[in-house]
């Protein structure tokens, strides 16, 4: 099992809030990924308005994947 090198949790109450928060967190993790150059980003929808955004070694550098639990 691969663990996340960095992760953030998001709870949003509206779709616009979710979009804004996701964009901010993905931008932050993209900055970290550029420093590492070996990890990609996994965005997982965990429930209504709940997301986990992770920097992971099992996602190729330069790639952002989406998943649902």
Write the pLDDT tens digit of every residue in 24-65: 999 999 999 999 899 999 999 999 999 999 999 999 999 999
pLDDT of residue 23: 97
Using CA atoms, how far residue 5 sits from 17, 19, 57, in Å, is 25, 23, 8
pLDDT of residue 45: 98
Q: Taking the domains of the chain in order of start, what are their residue ranges?
A: 4-68
Give me the residue label for tokens 């920097």. 55
The pTM assigned to this predicted structure is 0.90
Write the pLDDT tens digit of every residue in 1-32: 667 889 999 999 999 999 999 999 999 999 99
pLDDT of residue 4: 82
């Amino acid at each position: 099992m691969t663990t996340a090198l960095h992760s953030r949790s998001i709870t949003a109450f509206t779709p616009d809030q979710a979009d804004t928060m996701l964009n901010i967190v993905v931008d932050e993790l993209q900055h970290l990924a550029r420093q590492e150059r070996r990890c990609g980003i996994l965005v997982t929808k965990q429930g209504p308005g709940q997301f986990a955004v992770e920097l992971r070694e099992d996602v190729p550098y330069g790639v952002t994947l989406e998943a649902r639990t």
